[in-house]
Structure 1
């Protein structure tokens, strides 16, 4: 037998084992299993996208604590998020399905847990897509302003945002191979792009800030007087950026050797993003010229797209317009890759939730096209994400609220499976990838952080609190919970029916790979 034939036979064996595990869980395979382990890591890494989250909320971070909170908050929250990811990865190894989080919660805690987890996960995914693509539109506006002299007003910005969403929707209709290709490119674009940006920021400027400024300087431009309060809400920068790693779990029905490679994709995407993001933030902070740290927080009046694009102001000051245009273009491409991956992941979640009868119109959203892509679910994601960003036409706090929606929806959904696993203790049947005796401790510790995080991100972000500065994230959360409750009482209790399955994790423990 040739090496090629042996490799092909091994691939078929892996696919057969994955299909057997999925059938044992209770689902018949309908999606195309053509994603590699690297591709699985790549989609989560692309959605986390430090060139999206770090850059679009840089101005927010500068006003809510400044460099000191941005740097040390990043380190602390990254550790907390890694605990959440470790706990989620352990459960993903046992239940590698597109439904992922809600299905895990259902199997470990019952229908009620599954139901609320699914709705929270869906709200968070809608919010993160709105945040990513609106942020990309802001940076596109900054780029066109610098390069062509056209800076979109709020209506032009919404039009650009709609165009970005439409582009991502169309590209997502072509199948998982296309998505996988873009994600692979995205990984290297992010890593090499960050390395290039950092090198330019350290080598080109004639002046750099001191280490004391970067690691200890505190800024408060919120209107609130309490440094503790301001620093706490400033953690949103990291909390929002380090989301999206559930994509590795959502794509597990399309990943070979999913019981090990999907968990590894989750954990790897977090720690790699954590390190790269810290380096990126520090590079931008060192590059701040003179008092630009102050007007970076007031970028809304700069003509370059608002506070979301504060990094563009810093780049122009430190590097000149030509370099700023080049680096902004690198950031824009990264953000576009991020949004593409996020819509692909969210579509799989909506497909899976509908497959189990959880949504109004479920028969429509669970259909797939000839390329085995849940296109109806994907277009639903696009439309809802667009609606979430519309308040930006009336309130200056809309973007911060959208990012808060993403965090307060996703964080609880991420941690509920780990909490339920911890509650089972030794009764939990571990999969091929597991935390051993540390599983319960990791799950409970992560749960404590998420409770704190949700409270923080529901708080007002600017003072005085008016109709224009109000954080409407809690309203969006309440609306989603009310809708889910009403639908549960009306139809959900009868229509929501995840399969019982017969899976025993130990049956698939030999799927581990090096």
Structure 2
């Protein structure tokens, strides 16, 4: 960033789009943002729906210690993003940060790449959450009808039903997000406590502490033993991805430079501790792994609850707790995705931007962006007709896109010697370099890991198509940039100083020289 003096020097500068005509309603609190982030991560739900991934790749050691490892890494990523967010608290989130941290020459392309990564990440994490929720609802039928195996149409229709519910909540109850997110935190905490007590109280079989904390068996994966552990980290990485998505709600929060960074970090800390409390009793009562992995639709948590409690009604009761958390998660993810779509569209980076950037002030929601996000998720769900491994592909591409979108501004900040965040109100201080470099290193490794199939040898049905989905969106992004973006997109294009529109000279200087 240039140190050149400018007419705008000494003023607080943030950026917004020329399409924005009114301030968004600031009706969200720090607790609400933290609740939304916590809802998106939805720890009991995320860990339950991806349990087969880690059981295939190491069993207990991968499940528990993998969670601890990824929780610590995610805390570092969240802290790194929070440090940047405190300097640039806008709805653009990571794509805005990449633009502002880059030199003027690369500002537009850095913003474009990061923007598409985070946009696709928001869409696909919403897709994966709602898709697995649909699978989980169908698994409830299996509790009472052992021979029931949902077919492809039933799975896709149930997924579309979940999307419809989450879309409806976002469209008509957006004014009550504070209340919904608070209820989500309370419900999740109570559910984990109930699960802990019931599972330990009713289990007729208990595993040893040695099994819970030290048992490792990667023979089912086909990978070398050590590598299998890392492939199995997808379970934890998928669950701990949503914290950066809440940056897209910065413009709906009072004092976002303080409240949003705190919410991001605290939500990851809460999620990490919640996961430990949930996983330990689950592993102590875990039935035979071979039986768990034999479940047809890959969602064995209902079978686990039924087996442990010895009661179909008991199993259904515990599963119902997870299903409510799943609806909160899908709703929260779609909330963030709609805001991300709205923010990126305001800057002309999406085909049809003028339409998708409209905001419905009566409903307090970017309705067109919400409908676009929901429609794209529903269309991507059709991939399931071609591959039963579609869910793993959705999980993989969501994790890859969000992780890389988080890593890009952190990497740019490091390359610029962390100059822009030196005076951040959420400063990492002398540990900043170490934390930033460690998190970027992990993100690079995770891109390789999460493009790999869960096990080998690989069949067409069991292939991880994350790289294919990722490449498809990358093609759309590149083509649109070549057709229109390179001519019209220069990153966020209008500057606001101390909450007021900048004059022409201030805008020219900021965009030319940087802040």
Query: TM-score normalised to the size of structure 1?
Result: 0.89
Q: 2:143 touches 2:306 (CA, 8 Å); kept in 1?
A: no
1:162, 1:111 → 2: CA distance?
36
The equivalent residue for 2:307 is 317
The equivalent residue for 2:196 is 198
**Counterpart secondary structure, 1:434:** coil
**Counterpart secondary structure, 1:219:** coil
289, 296, 300: which one pairs with 1:293? 289
Q: Does 1:120 align with 2:122?
A: no
75, 78, 84: which one pairs with 2:71? 78
Runs of 4 or more off by more than 6 Å in structure 1? Answer: none
The equivalent residue for 2:108 is 111
229, 235, 239: which one pairs with 1:231? 229
The equivalent residue for 2:459 is 466
2:342, 2:489 → 1: CA distance?
13
After superposition, what is the alpha-carbon deviation per residue over 1:247-266, rounded to whole angstroms, capped at 9, x for unaligned?
A: 33111111112111100111
Alignment of 1:17-36 (within 5 A): 24-26=14-16, 29-36=22-29
Shift of 1:288: 1.6
1:255, 1:223 → 2: CA distance?
45
Alignment of 1:261-340 (within 5 A): 261-289=259-287, 292-300=288-296, 306-307=297-298, 309-320=299-310, 321-340=312-331
Q: Does 1:499 align with 2:490?
A: no
Unaligned runs of 5+ in 2: 1-10, 500-515
Q: 2:26 touches 2:253 (CA, 8 Å); kept in 1?
A: yes
2:280, 2:382 → 1: CA distance?
33
Cα–Cα, structure 1 residues 229 and 299, in superposed 2: closer, same or farther, change >3 Å?
same
Alignment of 1:445-464 (within 5 A): 445-464=438-457
Shift of 1:220: 3.2
- Shifted more, 392-401 versus 87-96: the winner is 392-401
1:193, 1:345 → 2: CA distance?
24
After superposition, what is the alpha-carbon deviation per residue over 1:155-176, rounded to whole angstroms, capped at 9, x for unaligned?
A: 1121111011011111111353
Report the number of matched residues.
477
The equivalent residue for 1:141 is 138
**Counterpart secondary structure, 1:34:** coil
1:245, 1:225 → 2: CA distance?
31
The equivalent residue for 1:512 is none
Alignment of 1:4-403 (within 5 A): 24-26=14-16, 29-109=22-102, 110-147=107-144, 152-174=150-172, 176-220=174-218, 222-289=220-287, 292-300=288-296, 306-307=297-298, 309-320=299-310, 321-369=312-360, 370-403=362-395
Shift of 1:504: 9.0
Unaligned runs of 5+ in 1: 1-19, 301-305, 506-514
2:85, 2:99 → 1: CA distance?
13
1:225, 1:60 → 2: CA distance?
13
2:63, 2:352 → 1: CA distance?
43
After superposition, what is the alpha-carbon deviation per residue over 1:342-373, rounded to whole angstroms, capped at 9, x for unaligned?
A: 00000000000000110111011101112231
